[in-house]
């Protein structure tokens, strides 16, 4: 019997299917644990009903198995599914094929057999179609030559937090329901607690690579808290609940698992180089309750569907909202007897407003410069209980206004603002000065690298510049890297001081 789709799953499917048929490339966003595999299976069913061939791609063995299971259930036993995985010799004429991206990238010469297929992409935030970023995902999609395709992701951003719009893969985003709503309805676990350990690693001074912290520096720092990882878990987690512990590295994962076993807690480490049979057996023992703590440095950030997991223990720092949300999603799924999930954080990640709480809504946008929660909250640690509490909402920046537009931004609050927020407010200030014909308007020419398109357009006639000046500046600005724009914004924040 096929899945009975929930209302929001039907809406996502309808919108995604219509967008593909309209010639667009939709990206469907829906939180971890909200049933994206059900939506994918329904999209496949509709494509088959129209006589189309369907190809589904993913990048991990656990995700592949989950998708195949969902498709078999929804499409029925009569639909034979071909699988392109390591060691397989699939028939290339099946109506439905589920492939692993790493394997398909080694068999590009075979993929022309799927030309004009309907392609469904799981964990689609990995797809980058820019020519300068030739990835395995890009090569596979180009070799498949799909007639149309649709992506699905809980976290539709690149590792650095920027939207996928300029990656050239998708043209429209269709968003699912807020996580808080899913929790209220019981589609996700309804309650959570965040516990901030006193024994923690500071992220201050850790260099970043690809949007998150350097592993080598975290390995050096984690030594200071190793002696407290197990003792804190025994102190704060009631009833030895099933736990996913995120280690800094593969070596650290094995060390932490050994620490747990020495304390009499059943624990195992899992890592990507293991034979598939061995890693599957470890996941199965964790799901059955034979293993209490599953330790890994990766492999648990995406695609792991273990509703029984009730605790996420972090021993590594996180700065990427994509990684943060994906890790949190591992323990948010509901299960029998599970009325609360826990985050036990041995880092300072919990206090970062740009990451947010598990139930905070994120303003996912296809072309966003940086994905962040819609509301930024100030979180504090209760010194007696170690529980994290919300102290209040952080205003983007306090402003004084006269009339309908912003007139003055105080320098101290501007300095404290997140650079993305500061850039937006400064652009608003510039446009306000254009309207007011302020005497010092030309000073904005010193800050062209942080002015947005709309600001450049109004600045051109206001200063009597030659037609086409704004367009030229937009083209020049495209050459700036994200790091250069960020640095320019910070310089601007520092330099304005009393001038605002």
C-alpha distance from residue 51 to each of 48, 84, 96, 433 (Å): 5, 22, 11, 58
Question: Is residue 196 within 8 Å of 406, Cβ to Cβ?
Answer: no
How far, CA to CA in Å, does 144 sit from each of 67, 138, 381? 19, 10, 51
- Residue 449 to residue 476: CA distance in whole angstroms: 9
In whole angstroms, what is the distance from residue 478 CA to residue 267 CA?
49
* Order of strands, sheet of 96-100, starting from the edge strand that comes earlier in the sequence: 81-84, 96-100, 54-58, 118-122, 148-153, 26-29, 172-175
Find the helix or strand (DSSP H, E) in which 278 lies: helix 276-288
Q: Provide the pLDDT for residue 493.
A: 72
Q: For residue 258, what pLDDT is reported?
A: 96
Say if CB 237 and CB 281 are below 8 A apart: no
DSSP state of 454: H
* pLDDT tens digit sequence for 235-274: 999 989 999 999 999 999 999 999 999 999 999 999 888 8
- Looking at 301-414, which runs of residues are DSSP E strands? 311-314, 341-347, 376-381, 388-394, 399-402, 405-409
pLDDT of residue 281: 93
CB-CB contact of 136 with 12 (8 Å): no
Eight-class DSSP state of 488: H
- Find tokens 């357009």 and name the residue: 457
CA distance 366 to 124: 12
DSSP-assigned letter for residue 300: S
Q: Name the E strands within 214-263.
A: 243-246
Q: Strand, coil or helix: what is 169?
A: coil
pLDDT reported for residue 422: 75
- What parts of the chain have a pLDDT lower than 50? 397-407, 498-500
Rounded to the nearest 10 degrees, the angle between the axes of helix 453-462 and helix 469-477 is 150
Q: Supply the pLDDT for residue 407.
A: 41
Domains of the chain, earliest start first: 7-177 (3.40.50.300), 183-394 (3.40.50.300), 399-499 (no CATH)
Question: Is residue 382 within 8 Å of 389, Cβ to Cβ?
Answer: yes
**Can you give the pLDDT at residue 411?**
64
Read off the pLDDT of residues 3-31 as tens digits, 9 standing for 90 and up.
899 999 999 999 999 999 999 999 999 99
pLDDT of residue 235: 95
């Amino acid at each position: 019997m096929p899945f009975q789709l929930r209302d929001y799953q039907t809406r996502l499917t309808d919108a995604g299917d219509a967008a593909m048929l309209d010639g667009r490339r939709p990206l469907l966003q829906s939180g971890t644990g909200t049933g994206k595999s059900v939506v994918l299976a329904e999209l496949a069913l509709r494509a088959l009903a129209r006589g189309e061939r369907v190809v589904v791609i993913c990048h991990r063995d656990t995700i592949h198995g989950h998708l195949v299971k969902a498709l078999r259930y929804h499409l029925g036993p009569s639909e034979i599914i071909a699988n392109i995985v390591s060691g397989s010799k699939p028939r290339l004429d099946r109506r439905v094929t589920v492939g692993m991206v790493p394997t398909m990238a080694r068999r590009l010469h075979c993929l022309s057999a799927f030309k004009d297929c309907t392609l469904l992409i799981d964990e689609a935030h990995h797809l980058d179609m820019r020519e300068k970023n030739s990835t395995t995902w890009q090569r596979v999609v180009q070799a498949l030559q799909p007639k149309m395709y649709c992506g699905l992701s809980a976290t539709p951003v690149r590792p650095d937090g920027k939207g996928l719009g300029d990656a050239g893969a998708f043209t429209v985003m269709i968003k699912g329901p807020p996580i808080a709503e899913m929790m209220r309805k019981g589609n996700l676990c309804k309650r959570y607690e965040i516990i901030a350990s006193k024994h923690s690693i500071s992220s201050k001074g850790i260099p970043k690579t690809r949007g998150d912290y350097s592993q080598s520096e975290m390995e050096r720092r984690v030594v200071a808290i190793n002696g407290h990882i197990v003792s804190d878990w025994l102190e704060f987690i009631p009833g030895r609940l099933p736990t996913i512990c995120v280690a800094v590295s593969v070596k650290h994962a094995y060390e932490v698992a050994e620490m747990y076993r020495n304390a009499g807690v059943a624990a195992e480490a899992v890592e990507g180089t293991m034979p598939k049979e061995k890693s599957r057996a470890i996941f199965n023992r964790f799901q059955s309750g034979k293993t209490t703590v599953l330790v890994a440095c990766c492999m648990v950030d995406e695609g792991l569907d273990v509703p029984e997991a009730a605790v996420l223990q972090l021993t590594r720092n996180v700065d990427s909202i994509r990684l943060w949300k994906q890790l949190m999603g591992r323990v948010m799924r509901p299960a029998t007897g599970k009325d609360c999930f826990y985050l036990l954080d041995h880092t300072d990640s919990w206090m970062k407003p740009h990451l947010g709480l598990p139930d905070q809504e994120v303003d996912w946008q296809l072309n966003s410069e940086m994905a962040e929660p819609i509301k930024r909250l100030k979180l504090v640690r209760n010194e007696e209980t170690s529980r994290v509490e919300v102290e209040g909402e952080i205003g983007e920046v306090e402003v004084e206004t006269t009339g309908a537009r912003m007139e003055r931004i105080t320098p101290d609050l501007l300095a404290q603002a997140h650079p993305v927020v500061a850039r937006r407010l400064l652009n608003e200030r510039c446009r306000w000065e254009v309207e007011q014909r302020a005497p010092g308007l030309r000073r904005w020419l010193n800050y062209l690298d942080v002015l947005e398109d709309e600001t450049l357009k109004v600045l051109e006639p206001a200063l009597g510049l030659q037609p086409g000046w704004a367009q030229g500046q937009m083209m020049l600005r495209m050459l700036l890297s994200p790091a250069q724009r960020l640095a320019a914004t910070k310089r601007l924040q520092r330099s304005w001081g009393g001038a605002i």
